Amino acid sequence: MKRYSIPAMFAALAILVSPACADNHAENTPQFIRTASAASFDTDFTEAAENTVNTVVCIKSFTSQRQNPYGNGGGGYDPFGMFDFFFGPQERQQPRQQQRNSEPVQSGLGSGVILSDDGYIVTNNHVIDGADKLEVLLNDNSTYEARVIGTDEATDLALIKIDAEKLTPITFGDSEAVKIGEWVLAVGNPFGFNSTVTAGIVSAKARSISQNTRSGKMGIESFIQTDAALNPGNSGGALVNLKGELIGINSAIYSNTGSYTGFSFAIPTTIVKKVMTDLRQYGTVQRAVLGCTVTELDAKLAKDKGITAIKAGLLVRDVNDRSTAKELGLMENDVITAINNVEVHNFPQLVEQLNKFRPGDQITVTYYRDNKKYTKSGTLRNTQGNTTITKKSDFSEIGCAFMKLGDETKRRLGISSGVKVAGLKGGAFRDAGIKDGFIITDINGRSVNTSDDVEMIYNQIMKSEGEDKVMFITGLYPTGKKYYYAVNLSQE
């Protein structure tokens, strides 16, 4: 059977149905007119798919205890109330005999993207969070155990490593060059179906899916929105252009059920590249801040403030001391419109630009004051107001161990909780004046009974985006005398 291209088929159809072909009165009969001779765009996805499938891996997470790490009844991680991060399908309840076995069991499924031929892989933090064991399955069915190099909860990214050689790494593209309406492919492992490719277009850029975009947090607020079908197991997989270049890491879907219903969201490569470099080089993300509180400019605000020169930007509310904004001379009611000549009309765009830099980097800020345009340069700082490289937080740096208290000791001292400081050496606790034998009853208003309790509070403090990382400790010495200490965990 002969095949026709679409334009050729229309031409053939015109010949078949035109009365001109049946008689000699062509001049009195209407004719089909072909208005286009070729397709206006290329929708051949095969090359991009072939270039990508071998760079995307399946990641299986295993835990020793049968519990949902997010504590939400198996419904998936839902940080914003209406958006589900798509963690993999949970295993069904295991028989009691198997539950008593200490061997880790599979608790989740996700995807990852190979960054280097020696085994570095990027994925989502929520894919590997809480796992006791990680298993990576390549497209050729090779299986490796992975170790975590670093994680960043704020951007939901993680870097893991497998001991392998001569892998096929992904080619990075420029997410800022991506255009709305451009065709993209999503590659991952939905529901455990390895190397699945779906297609869609870029629906929007710099999309915020947080209900609190003005909180000042430096997490990811600037997603690439697509309509490529994604489902549980796609999380951490690749979003690529038609050249097969990585433009984003798939991270979230718009869903009330946990399955695809129309929109999905990817972390742009401008952020992915910088976070991965930081995690590999420093073990933690070097996060720069401008040091001011802003509000998105709208028509009402512009009218109230008498702003006529511009219609969009970030209105400065207040400026922090020891900040880049202070150095630049920014003032209340200034309107920021660009960072390094890249326009920022809303908060997500501002966060995306700042996430590209580290403390110590020079940036240029364009802003308006009294309807006049200004451009100034300054040095970015961290949340502590300096340019010091942030070290990976390590619980051992507090400089002591903790011993569990016996019931008799608790009764004698009249306390219901507490852990005893032991083996004190150089570190944050000794610097705060704490001595061996001190009994901690609570930290930041939370009771502690084990070393794990102290470590959990420590990790929460270190992961927070607040400027002050302090443990406010209440306790007493064996004599019964009560003391209060403030332990500074900031790394100057």
Going by C-alpha positions, the residue among 399, 405, 354, 406 that lies closest to residue 380 is 354
Q: Are 26 and 20 in contact (CB under 8 A)?
A: yes
Q: Which helix (H) or strand (E) holds 188?
A: strand 183-188
DSSP 343-367: E--SHHHHHHHHTT--TT-EEEEEE
Helices (H), 339-449: 347-354, 407-413, 428-431
Q: How far is CA 254 from CA 203, 397, 403, in A?
A: 13, 41, 46
Q: Which helix (H) or strand (E) holds 342?
A: strand 342-343
Give catalytic residues, as residue numbers. 126, 156, 235
DSSP 98-136: HHTS-S-EEEEEEEEEE-STTSEEEE-HHHHTT-SEEEE
Residue found by looking up tokens 């198997």 in the block = 98
Gap between the Cα atoms of 420 and 330, Å rounded: 48
Q: For the chain, how far is it from start to end, CA to CA, in angstroms?
A: 76
Gap between the Cα atoms of 197 and 59, Å rounded: 17
Bridge partners (DSSP) of residue 311 are none
Q: Are 318 and 352 in contact (CB under 8 A)?
A: no
DSSP E strand boundaries for 196-297: 196-207, 223-226, 238-240, 245-254, 263-268, 292-296
